[in-house]
């Protein structure tokens, strides 16, 4: 099968923002690489899309969602075997903490006794390589307690829900509006030997959770405040990511009606907003 490889070069914060928006707009996978000749000042974004996709429409939709001007890009055809080799060379084991690793299937876990999430780069956002995902994984590693009920809203690849189960949560739900993401999350859950409830948001049974996670983007997070608050039990915790540091104050303001919220961690220009339900 042939693919389209769409390449853009942007400032690092713009590249980070556009990467998730490209997935939401229909890209099958996105990789970020530093541009060597620009010494960290530019990041190369490479998006993979099916051969029949419209690259201009995809980039335009992603730029609009990320509130960026439509950037210049180049397009090349990429054979399946070339993409597999490229992916496997790019993605190695990722250490989240002393006891949590994200490990592609073609690697051996580098540390015995650690909690390991097996995850290959694929058709939904969330491999652990993006700072916004790492922030939530680090939060989970510190916050999940045995028996917790956890909701991952906008689950993408399912990485957060899978990690929550492996860290001891007893009842985990993962929802996404994208059917492809739900399929990918289910495949990844099976590969890890775990069984979170994976469903479209409208099919999730009524109920509240001890912990609600949402790694999306600032705009959708603000719009979802009432829904996520209704899913968080009194005294429960919420962790919001996909937020640029410059956007954190606006997100916090939207959640102060129902949560005591604040920035609890930052990485590479991204912020984690953590809150407790009143």
Whole-number Cα distances in Å, 211 to 138, 228, 276:
14, 10, 9
Distance of CA 65 to the CA centre of its chain: 16
Query: pLDDT tens digits, the chain, 278 residues: what are they?
Result: 578 889 999 988 888 888 878 888 888 777 777 777 765 678 888 888 888 899 999 999 999 988 899 999 999 887 665 555 555 555 667 788 877 888 877 777 776 678 888 877 654 455 566 788 889 999 999 999 999 999 999 998 899 999 999 999 999 999 999 888 899 899 999 999 999 999 999 999 999 999 999 998 888 999 999 999 999 999 999 999 989 899 999 999 999 999 999 999 998 888 999 999 99
Strand, coil or helix: 155: coil
- Residue 38: per-residue pLDDT: 65
Is there a contact between 63 and 18 (Cβ–Cβ < 8 Å)?
A: yes
pLDDT of 79: 67
CATH 3.90.1260.10 given to domain 129-277: no
> What fold is seen in the domain 2-90?
Alpha-Beta Plaits (3.30.70)
- Alpha helix (H) residue ranges in the chain: 12-25, 55-65, 80-90, 131-143, 159-166, 179-191, 218-223, 225-230, 248-255
What CA–CA distance (Å, rounded) separates 187 from 208? 26
Burial of 39 (0-12, 13-18, 19+ CB in 10 A): exposed
Ramachandran region of residue 187, left (φ > 0), alpha (ψ -120 to 50) or beta? Answer: alpha
User: How many other CB atoms are found less than 10 A from the CB of residue 257?
Assistant: 11
The per-residue pLDDT for 91 is: 60
> Which residues of the chain form CATH 3.30.70.260?
2-90
Quote the CA–CA distance of 45 and 29 in Å, as a whole number. 10
Q: Where in the chain is the domain with CATH 3.40.50.150?
A: 129-277
DSSP 8-19: EEE-HHHHHHHH
Output the pLDDT for position 124: 47
Give the tokens for residue 218: 């600032």
* pTM listed for this prediction: 0.73
Residues listed for the chain: 278
174 neighbors 125 (Cβ within 8 angstroms) = no
- Residue 58 pairs in a beta bridge with none
Which residues, including other chains, have CB under 8 Å from residue 264's CB and lie 6 or more apart?
139, 272, 273, 274
């Amino acid at each position: 099968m042939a693919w389209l490889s769409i390449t853009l070069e942007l400032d690092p914060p713009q590249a980070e923002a556009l990467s998730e928006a490209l997935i939401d707009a229909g890209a099958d996978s996105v990789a970020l690489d530093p541009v060597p000749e620009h010494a960290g000042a530019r990041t190369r974004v490479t998006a993979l899309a099916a051969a029949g996709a419209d690259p201009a429409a995809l980039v335009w939709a992603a730029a609009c969602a990320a509130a960026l001007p439509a950037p210049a890009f180049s397009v090349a055809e990429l054979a399946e075997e070339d993409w597999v080799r490229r992916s496997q060379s790019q993605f190695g084991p990722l250490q989240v903490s002393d006891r949590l690793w994200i490990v592609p299937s073609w690697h051996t876990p580098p540390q015995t006794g650690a909690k390991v999430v097996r995850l290959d780069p694929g058709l939904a956002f969330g491999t652990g390589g993006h700072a916004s995902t790492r922030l939530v994984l680090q939060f989970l590693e510190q916050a999940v307690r045995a028996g917790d009920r956890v909701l991952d809203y906008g689950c993408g690849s399912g990485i957060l829900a899978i990690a929550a189960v492996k860290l001891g949560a007893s009842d985990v739900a993962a929802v996404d509006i994208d059917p492809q993401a739900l399929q990918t999350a289910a495949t990844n859950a099976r590969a890890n030997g775990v069984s979170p409830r994976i469903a479209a948001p409208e099919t999730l049974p009524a109920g509240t959770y001890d912990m609600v996670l949402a790694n999306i983007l600032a705009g959708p997070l603000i719009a979802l405040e009432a829904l996520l608050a209704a899913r968080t039990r009194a005294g429960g915790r919420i962790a919001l990511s996909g937020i640029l540091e410059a956007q954190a104050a606006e997100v916090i303001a939207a959640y102060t009606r129902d949560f005591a919220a604040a920035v609890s961690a930052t990485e590479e220009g991204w912020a984690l907003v953590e809150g407790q339900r009143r």
